Amino acid sequence: MIIYTVRPGDTLYSVSRRFNVSMERLESDNQLENPEKLVPGQTIVVLTDNTSHTVAKGQSLYSIAKAYGITLNELISANPDIRSPGRLEPGMVITIPSPGRKLGTIYVNGYAYPGINMGLLRSVLPYLTYLSIFSTQARADGSLIPINDAPVIAAARSGGVAPIMVVTNMVEGSGFSSDLGHVLLTNKQVQNVLINNIIATLREKNYYGLNIDFEYLFPADRDDYNSFLRDITVRLHALGYIVMSAIAPKISANQPGLLYEAHDYPVHGRLMDHVIIMTYEWGYTKGPAMAVSPVNEVRRVLNYAVSAMPPQKILLGMPNYGYDWTLPFVQGSSARQLTNPQAVALAGTVGAHIKYSPTSQAPFFTYYDQARRKHEVWFEDARSVDAKLRLINRYGLGGASYWTVNTSFPQNWLVLSSLYDIRKVI
């Protein structure tokens, strides 16, 4: 796999000639929405063996290695005939090696809403271990709000993917509720009803396990949440179900804030089979423009996480979306959410060149709308996906978890399957 970044003047034809790969293959693999108009800064994933590169004036082995996303040592090893690596002549043809063996085998979870397009779902199932169906909401009396999940469960199982029930403390027609969480965690009678209803649903609908996604809990409910996790995992493990949880991206044990304080990393690490760390939403709908999942911030979270729980239980949160902010940022304003292919298409429409932040390891661009308002767009591409997925190997994590698989992002799956084999459990 080579991740190529489009340069001004590039066409699909010129890229295909560069790598000796057909235009049809590039278009099909990347599912390019507008192959006739490539956007400078756009990425194209090239699935190929070793290829050749003609040295241009001013290029060095270091700059060439960086352009192709390989290490300098890999490039030097592939070109033993170069006796003076520090001096390249324009016109010289050198070999660009494809990456070696995969980094390992990992678990991959994907969140999906019940209304996901079934064709899209079938296309991503080969890359998933688990499909977490979002979400079954708990009521204050311990009952559950039913969802139409049967078609998705059946599709997942037929595709060799384990369907996972997601239970949340979300209020019907609204969002996560601290008050609802408090009732569910502090009233033992309600809690017993809730657990019994969860078990009944797991059995009735042929789920493989449970994903507990309780967010914005009151800090004072931390111990009660831990107690609930102990009770439910004991019961579900005895019945043969796996249990995972979704937790906030913390950088320290005592990080303040409603999102963080009730999530006790060591307890989740001891009790859960998998722990999904939601390493996204630094850039978010109501906040200022920035990368959704900046690698430098993700590293800070992982540095704490691996000190507090077994790394192999951690599934790294991977965002599958971007945002378009109107500048200057005004408190109370909202960014527009985009799919990653929509972001590239928007750059092409407005004539923007896509840039890449070396700090955040994420693509972005700016443009002006018809009202002359400036916009800033951050999203994900093959480079940012590659940078985050490599953290799994670097930190010895168990795998990845995507929010969500409801929208198409073909390059992600090319990068993922080039780096890792996917563990299957059914």
Q: Catalytic: which of 24, 74, 89, 215?
A: 215
- Tell me, what DSSP letter sits at residue 126? G
Q: 């300098």: which residue's tokens?
A: 72
Active site (annotated) includes residue 172: no
* Amino acid at position 310, single letter: P
Radius of gyration of the chain (CA): 23
Alpha helical stretches, state H, 7-102: 12-19, 23-30, 61-68, 72-77
* Interior angle at CA 318, CA 323 and CA 310, nearest 5: 145
Classify 372 as helix, strand or coil.
coil
Closest CA to 198 of 171, 178, 228, 218: 228
Tell me which residue has tokens 């991959």. Answer: 108
Q: Using H for helix, E for strand and C for coil, what is the string for 196-252?
A: HHHHHHHHHHCCCEEEEECCCCCHHHHHHHHHHHHHHHHHHHHCCCEEEEEECCCCC
Helix and strand totals (H; E) in the chain: 14, 19
Q: Who's near 31: CB < 8 A, 6+ residues apart?
A: 341, 408, 410
The sign of the dihedral angle between the CA atoms of 288, 289, 293, 294 is negative
Residue 399 and residue 397: Cα distance in Å, rounded? 6
Give me the active site residues, please.
215
